Chains A and B, each alone.
Chain A
Amino acid sequence: MKKHLLSSDDLTADDMATLFATAAEMHDVQRREVKKLPALRGRTIINLFFEDSTRTRSSFEIAGKWLSADTINITGKGSSASKGESLRDTVLTIASMGVDAVVMRHGASGAAQQVSQWIDAAVVNAGDGTHEHPTQALLDAYALSRHFGEGDRLGSLEGRHVVLVGDLTHSRVFRSNVITLTRLGARVTVVAPPTLMPAGIASWSSSAGFATSYDLDEVLPTADAVMMLRVQKERMSGGFFPTSREYTVGYGLTRDRLRVLGPEVPICHPGPMNRGLEIAADAADAAQSLILEQVSAGVAVRMSVLYHLLAGEGTA
Chain B
Amino acid sequence: MPATTEPAVGPPGRTVLDARDIARALTRISHEILERNKGHEGLVLLGVPTRGVGLAQRIAARIAETEGVSIPVGALDITLYRDDLRRHPARAPQPTAIPAGGIDGKTVVLVDDVLYSGRTVRAALDALADIGRPAVVRLAVLVDRGHRELPIRADHVGKNLPSARSERVMVRLEETDGLDVVRIADSPDAARPAEEVAR
Contact = CB atoms under 8 A, between A and B. Distances in A.
Interface of A: 1, 18, 21-22, 24-25, 28, 32-34, 36-39, 67, 307-315
Given A25-B96, A34-B130, A312 B91 contact: yes
B74 to A, nearest CB: 12
A44 to B, nearest CB: 14
A120 to B, nearest CB: 15
Nearest to B126: A38
Nearest to A17: B92
Contacts of B96: 25, 28
A25 B93 contact: yes
A33 B126 CA distance: 14
A311 B79 CA distance: 11
Given A311-B91, A313-B87, 20 more contacts: A22-B92, A25-B77, A25-B92, A25-B93, A25-B95, A33-B132, A34-B129, A37-B81, A37-B130, A39-B85, A67-B80, A309-B90, A311-B90, A312-B86, A312-B87, A312-B88, A312-B89, A314-B87, A314-B90, A315-B90
A200 B129 CA distance: 55
Contacts, number: 56
B131 interface: yes
Interface of B: 77, 80-81, 85-96, 126, 129-132
Contacts of B130: 32, 34, 36-37
A308 B85 CA distance: 11
Of A36, A39, A309, A310, most B-chain CB atoms within 10 Å: A39
Contacts of A314: 87-90
Contacts of A25: 77, 80, 92-96
A127 B140 CA distance: 49
Of B89, B90, B94, most A-chain CB atoms within 10 Å: B90
A32 B93 CA distance: 17
A312 B81 contact: no
B50 to A, nearest CB: 14
Of B87, B94, B130, most A-chain CB atoms within 10 Å: B130
Nearest to A40: B85
A38 B80 contact: yes
Contacts of B126: 38
A21 B92 contact: yes
A37 B91 contact: no
B131 A32 contact: yes
Nearest to B93: A25
Contact of A307 (B81, B90, B95): B90
A124 to B, nearest CB: 14
B84 to A, nearest CB: 9
A146 to B, nearest CB: 14
A312 B85 contact: yes
